[in-house]
Amino acid sequence: MLDHDISSHLGPDVPDTTPPDISGCPTSPIQVTTSPGSTTARAFWQEPTATDNSGDIPTRTSTHTPGSFFPIGPTQVTYRFFDSSANIATCTFTVIVTRK
């Protein structure tokens, strides 16, 4: 008689080495202009999101949030997404502030 229970044939748990999948990461710089006489400007963007192959929602950290004030010049913004297996996915883009 054949054994149709495949669970007895499976090996040990396979570790999750797949990082979260990011969507909505800006692909071009966010450009804003200061108000006259100001040295900073607020920048807004749609925050990126991520899904994970585990089905869990990844933890998100970021260096800045939409509505933050930025100094004149380029500033790098980074989002990191971590899953429960410590896999990391990163989204990085630039906010460029120019003087009016």
Q: Where are the domains of the chain?
A: 19-98
Gap between the Cα atoms of 92 and 2, Å rounded: 54
Task: Give the model's pLDDT for residue 12.
Answer: 59
List beta partners, residue 21.
51
8 A C-beta contact, residue 86 and residue 58: no
CATH fold of the domain at 19-98: Immunoglobulin-like (2.60.40)
The pLDDT, as a whole number, for residue 44 is 98
Confidence of residue 13 (pLDDT cuts 50, 70, 90): confident
What is the rounded distance in angstroms from the CA atom of residue 39 to the CA atom of residue 32?
Answer: 12
Question: Mean pLDDT, to the nearest integer, of 56-72?
Answer: 98
What 3-state DSSP class applies to 82?
Answer: strand
Question: Strand locations in 7-72, DSSP E?
Answer: 21-23, 30-33, 40-42, 49-51, 59-62, 69-71
